[in-house]
Amino acid sequence: MLFVKTSIVAALIAAFASSASCSPVQETNAQRMARGLPPLAPKFGRTVPGRREPTKVWAAKRTASSPLPPVSYSGRIQARDEAGNALGVVKNTNSSWTIEGLNLNDSDPDLHVSFTAPASGKGPFDILATNALFSDPYYVGAAGTPLLNTVGDLTSDK
């Protein structure tokens, strides 16, 4: 009986002592090559700890169409009353002021201007005097609504 107990205890000790981990060890490809083994095949469909996951297709940024290029105009500024009747064009004079009134069939030359506006026709723009007789700055200040699609006296430089 002592032999049976001793053999069971010896078997248990042998089982515990010999139960080495048989699970495969994750080696890097460099460690595998150092041992003369080929590198592992790439593993798709999993992420490496510490790295970001790739962007999902549904979460990727969508592209937007390019904006239309701005349109350049040149011509004269025509003043109109509230009813839309033409009063005259801006006068080009050599004075201390940049703009000194309207040219009502006078011998003074008309002030020619140019500006570049967004293709939509909406948004701010600067009006530049192109044949100014007055001293700089040559930017003309104006207030109002830019009705670019109803302008008849301006020509597009497209």
The pLDDT value recorded for residue 158 is 46
Q: Structural domain boundaries of the chain?
A: 71-144
Distances (CA, A) of 67 to 101, 118, 119, 152, 155: 37, 9, 9, 25, 22
Q: What is the mean pLDDT of the chain?
A: 75
Q: What is the pTM of this model?
A: 0.46
% of the chain beyond a pLDDT of 90:
6
Residue 60 sits at the vertex; the CA angle it makes with 58 and 62, to the nearest 5 degrees, is: 105
Burial of 141: CB neighbours in 10 Å, binned 0-12, 13-18, 19+: exposed
